[in-house]
Amino acid sequence: MSESKKSLAIFALGGINEIGKNMYVIEYGDDLFIVDCGAKFADESLLGIDLIIPDVSYLIQNEHKIRGLIVTHGHEDHIGGIPYFLKKLNVPVYATRFTLGLIELKLREHKILRESTLIEIHSKSELDFGEIKVNFFRVSHSIPDCLGIVFNTPEGNIVHTGDFKFDYTPVNEQNSDIHKMAKIGEEGVVALISESTNAERPGSTPSERKVGWHIEEAFFRATGKIIISTFASNVNRVQQIVDATKKTNRRLALLGRSMVNVVKVARERGYVDIPDWMLVDSREVRNLPPERVVVLCTGSQGEPLAALSRLSTNNNRDVKVLPDDTVIFAASPIPGNEKGVSKIVDNLFQLGANVIYGSASNTGMHVSGHGYQEDLKLMLTLMKPKYFIPIHGEYRMLHKHRQLAEAVGVERGHTFIIRNGDVVDIQHGEARQTRQVPSGDTYVDNVGDDEIVDIVLRDRKQLSEEGMLVVVVTINKEDGNRISDPDSISRGFVYAKGNEELIGNVNDVVKRTIDPFKEANIMGMKRAIKKEVGNYIFEQTKKKPMILPIIIAV
Amino acid sequence: MSESKKSLAIFALGGINEIGKNMYVIEYGDDLFIVDCGAKFADESLLGIDLIIPDVSYLIQNEHKIRGLIVTHGHEDHIGGIPYFLKKLNVPVYATRFTLGLIELKLREHKILRESTLIEIHSKSELDFGEIKVNFFRVSHSIPDCLGIVFNTPEGNIVHTGDFKFDYTPVNEQNSDIHKMAKIGEEGVVALISESTNAERPGSTPSERKVGWHIEEAFFRATGKIIISTFASNVNRVQQIVDATKKTNRRLALLGRSMVNVVKVARERGYVDIPDWMLVDSREVRNLPPERVVVLCTGSQGEPLAALSRLSTNNNRDVKVLPDDTVIFAASPIPGNEKGVSKIVDNLFQLGANVIYGSASNTGMHVSGHGYQEDLKLMLTLMKPKYFIPIHGEYRMLHKHRQLAEAVGVERGHTFIIRNGDVVDIQHGEARQTRQVPSGDTYVDNVGDDEIVDIVLRDRKQLSEEGMLVVVVTINKEDGNRISDPDSISRGFVYAKGNEELIGNVNDVVKRTIDPFKEANIMGMKRAIKKEVGNYIFEQTKKKPMILPIIIAV
């Protein structure tokens, strides 16, 4: 392939028209870079499925080109797929110190830490891959140590923002590298790939520090024990909780596996400052006066197995919720989680606790990590891109983000609203979107390692909605003559008691269906039973249970 | 029973610790009054179940006492259970003219209108049942013709508010009868039963008229077709849409079965004023210039089968969404419906429409029909009850409502936070809560008339989450000796391909389990197979599929 025919390809394998499983690819000639490898939690319509990760068949086909996986930050929707991915493609992983700490937790759990290649980078790192050079800039977000990425290519600079907001009064110096961003914009950006989560929200994202003020106020008011729940990965919020704990002269117990693990990583690597005297084991809580204790726990999203849920039903052995305790949700419920959170609030009120919950606008106990419209416009203004690719959002967010881009000067028609798999090709400075690569969902089941194929899911759906009917009949293997009366068993469809007549009629249908067969044609009999019994059941009940004929030839 | 031993009982058969299926009972001696008979939509955890209605076994046992069902207003959570209830207990139904119109629609659908006894009342009606007299007062809500109820009993006045807000600038004169409420309070109220839906929200509920201003503004701005969706039963909002349609010189098409039906009832009975010239059939829409049309449709909650959802994928034969059309959601998404609404917004943007959507605080296109904290305090202040029973809400709302009651002077300890089935008994002016009556959920399945028993639901849940494994083996009916090799079939559990080994091992487990049997003990064999195969599968896969052993004795 001659130099002049090379083009630069940008596409997503996940993260577009969805929140979750982010994975983006920048490809130029024989160099391919992956940005992030996230997972998405399955919703209830996918029965018994826990995680969804990107379909990476394109990457498997192009394994020889992959130069590395670059990770912008340590949230699940950006790192959750990494263990499953590395088991398929053992490529080098580039990430900052804190992000690597979280990735290592996962790889250790999956027992593949030793054979993985992890390379620590920081916002001033410069990676040289020959024709492509990669630089970084620091962005603010709701987790420490986040990066934006600049791919310096023969076609010009391609900028990927990662997840970001602008926070002018950040906690722990996690501020945005705004001067560097300005410099990149001055150099020229051919394409900006920018996140769109809050493109629907007018104004600017409030500073994380605002949450600290509200936490401090609530701590000063509290008379009994304080139980406070937030995202473990929001280490800057954890720092503010630690600071308020210090000011009110309390001690701090950590509850919940991910809280303990993430705080450990953050302390070891210097992202949170907790004095040793402050920490107590949760078993010590009962021995301390309530007004001297803060319990920091997981479960702010109402997760039924997390610490806060157990506390709300007083099912934790060591920590009990008492009247006059204060329970604080230092996180807004993510849409879809309201019911789980509400149930926990109900239970906590029944235990007599004072509960601070609800939307951030009422409590002040949460701010978003994603830039609102003014933040997004600032990024667009700094980068002045020729082309714009909004990512990380559902269609209406990408659509709103395009409107913002046009408002600050991106030319009409220079924004590409892509779907997962759609490729934007840039050649000789001109961008087009005409082709696609394979993309999709890969399911990970409860146990963790199995990928479930679609047919099992489809079966589960039918079973769950319509139930099933097993029809058993025994035939002579020589001539196909029926030996036994048919027998039918239903599950999740109708209750057998009171439906003897229906079941009896089904057995008559089975007889009429297979008796005309003159040989032991098992497949033919099964097909005929499925059809005839299915029709009969539908006529009678308007239901379509799974019909499972079992023919025993003896 | 001597007069002095009679007590007045107040309880709920539905509506407490839930939103939906409201049903309250006032019982004094041999007189029993039912207030409302609602239904609740099942959430996704109840697989394939559509509706939940109250368990009325207590009422069936006490049928001879029932004097009637009094209905406060026509929302589904207050009337949805009526057809199912009347099929069990054909009692007289008292309701206002508009509410009766909606009830009649349901009874006609269920083909029981003719044999039902429907009695029209209004806010000035007085019903005399001997010892008990029943009066009413008008309340504002998000549907016309709503009542609060006063039971005048030998123990004093019991007031049930129905659903309410205070609206000082109502549409169509649907204002609250605040003077009558003041008079009732002056007479004395022994117990107030008041709704709690918005007890968590500070301030006063905005007036419905505010929505009208925003609708009008959006109509004046719109250039193409206007498609606007709201709750069909919110007739006052429909009136404001009609008024804005008139002002912008457009014509109006109705889309969606419930919109057509409810508007018909409302027009016939005088609750909405739509000039004949304005209405066009939806088939005419394509023949009119877009700027001359308003389409008023159902589906504001993202319901997948409603009109707006079909429009968003351009699946309606008559009405097409074109670029520059304006689509307005004149209703906030109810928690839990956000995903469905978002999907529709995404689709509408993809068709090029201008979409006005999101929370009421951003769009102004919705106000609640339920009183905020200041409204609830006004009702408590007007009624000055001795005892207070907050209803119509989940625990945290009842809890907040109690705090409001105490703030305006209800004595501590005089508020009863009850659960469904808990009885508050009032005797000689003193209230106690010590006993319970049976209560619970009754499920109504897809087809509409069957009540599903719990075992079927439990089966569906297991089937959906873990799948199932059918194990078939043939034995000699004389001596129990196995005739065939066992055969196993799995569904929704593991995919057979690639799991031949597991299935093979299961068959070995079955052999080892039943071969020691020395007789054709079918039940014993089934139990043993369930246990042994279940254990083996769990060891190997950490899953618990439903194990269904089938033993054929020939």
Task: For residues B216 and B172, state if they share a domain.
Answer: no
pLDDT at B46 over 50: no
In chain B, the number of structural domains is 3
H/E run at residue B391? strand B387-391
End-to-end Cα separation, chain A, in angstroms = 66
Q: With a cut of 0.85, is the ipTM above it? A: no
Best mutation site among B491, B507, B526 for testing chain A: the one with the most A CBs within 10 Å?
Answer: B491
Identify the pLDDT of residue B219: 98
Residue-averaged pLDDT of chain B:
90
Query: Domain of A526: which CATH number?
Result: 3.10.20.580
Task: For residues A15 and A150, state if they share a domain.
Answer: yes
User: What is the pLDDT averaged over residues B412-428?
Assistant: 96
Identify the pLDDT of residue B33: 98
CA dihedral defined by B121, B122, B126, B128, rounded to 10 degrees?
20
The answer to whether position B2 is within a domain reads: no
Is B441 assigned a ligand-binding role in the annotation?
A: no
Put simply, the answer to whether A541 touches B460 (Cβ < 8 Å) is: no
Yes or no: say if A13 and A36 are a contact pair by the CB < 8 Å rule: no
| B448 vs A482: CA distance, rounded Å | 38
**Of the ranges A2-6, A260-264, B142-146, B480-484, which one carries the lowest mean pLDDT score?**
A2-6
Best mutation site among B464, B542, B543 for testing chain A: the one with the most A CBs within 10 Å?
Answer: B464
| Each residue's pLDDT tens digit, A14-39 | 999 988 999 999 999 999 999 999 99
Give the residue numbers spanning the domain of B473: 454-553
| Each residue's pLDDT tens digit, B120-138 | 999 999 999 999 999 999 9
What's the per-residue H, E or C state across A178-227? Answer: HHHHHHHHHHCCCEEEEECCCCCCCCCCCCHHHHHHHHHHHHHHCCCCEE
User: What is the pLDDT averaged over residues B10-35?
Assistant: 96
pLDDT at A371 over 80: yes
* Domain final position from B300, B334, B360: B360
Identify the pLDDT of residue B547: 83
Please list every residue in chain A whose beta carbon sits closer than 8 Å to the beta carbon of residue B342.
394, 396
pLDDT at B297 over 80: yes
The answer to whether position A307 is within a domain reads: yes
Query: Domain of A314: which CATH number?
Result: 3.40.50.10710
The residue behind tokens 């429409």 is: B353
B521 falls in which pLDDT band (50, 70, 90)?
confident
| Each residue's pLDDT tens digit, B351-406 | 999 999 988 778 899 999 999 999 999 999 999 999 999 999 999 999 999 999 99
pTM above 0.80, yes or no: no
The answer to whether position B126 is within a domain reads: yes
User: What is the pLDDT averaged over residues B43-60?
Assistant: 73
Task: For residues B470 and B395, state if they share a domain.
Answer: no
Task: For residues B241 and B99, state if they share a domain.
Answer: no
Cα dist from B355 to A159, B282, B307, B363, whole Å: 31, 21, 16, 11
The answer to whether position A466 is within a domain reads: yes
The answer to whether position B440 is within a domain reads: yes
Of residues B231 and B467, more confidently modeled:
B231
- A482: nearest CA in chain B? B554
Task: For residues A170 and A213, state if they share a domain.
Answer: no
Query: Domain of B63: which CATH number?
Result: 3.60.15.10
* Domain final position from A377, A412, A445: A445
Options B195, B208, B214, B401, the catalytic residue: B195
Residue A225 has a CB neighbour count (10 Å cut-off) of 25
| Each residue's pLDDT tens digit, B98-118 | 999 999 999 998 899 999 999
Options B160, B214, B370, B401, the catalytic residue: B370
- Nearest of B528, B501, B514, B523 to residue B473 by alpha carbon: B514
Amino acid in position B518: K
Identify the pLDDT of residue B464: 65
| B180 vs B147: CA distance, rounded Å | 12
Task: For residues B87 and B126, state if they share a domain.
Answer: yes
Question: Burial level of A490, CB count in 10 A (0-12/13-18/19+)?
Answer: buried
Identify the pLDDT of residue A174: 78
Identify the pLDDT of residue B2: 44
Which residues of A are part of the catalytic machinery?
Answer: 195, 370
**Of the ranges A160-164, B40-44, B49-53, B494-498, which one carries the lowest mean pLDDT score?**
B494-498
List the strands of the sheet with B146-153, edge to edge.
Answer: B126-129, B132-139, B146-153, B156-160, B191-195, B387-391
B477 falls in which pLDDT band (50, 70, 90)?
confident
Yes or no: say if B148 and B78 are a contact pair by the CB < 8 Å rule: no
B71 falls in which pLDDT band (50, 70, 90)?
very high
The answer to whether position B338 is within a domain reads: yes
Task: For residues B41 and B184, state if they share a domain.
Answer: yes
* Domain final position from A393, A418, A445: A445
The answer to whether position B90 is within a domain reads: yes
Of residues B530 and B311, more confidently modeled:
B311
B236 falls in which pLDDT band (50, 70, 90)?
very high
Task: For residues A438 and A490, state if they share a domain.
Answer: no
Task: For residues A375 and A496, state if they share a domain.
Answer: no
Task: For residues B136 and B48, state if they share a domain.
Answer: yes
The answer to whether position A1 is within a domain reads: no
Task: For residues B304 and B252, state if they share a domain.
Answer: yes
Write out the two tokens for B296.
């008023």
Task: For residues A354 and A372, state if they share a domain.
Answer: no
B495 falls in which pLDDT band (50, 70, 90)?
low
| Each residue's pLDDT tens digit, A432-446 | 999 999 998 887 754
B455 falls in which pLDDT band (50, 70, 90)?
low
pLDDT at A356 over 80: yes
Identify the pLDDT of residue A2: 44
pLDDT at B453 over 60: no
Please list every residue in chain A whose beta carbon sits closer than 8 Å to the beta carbon of residue B542.
446-447
User: What is the pLDDT averaged over residues B204-216?
Assistant: 95
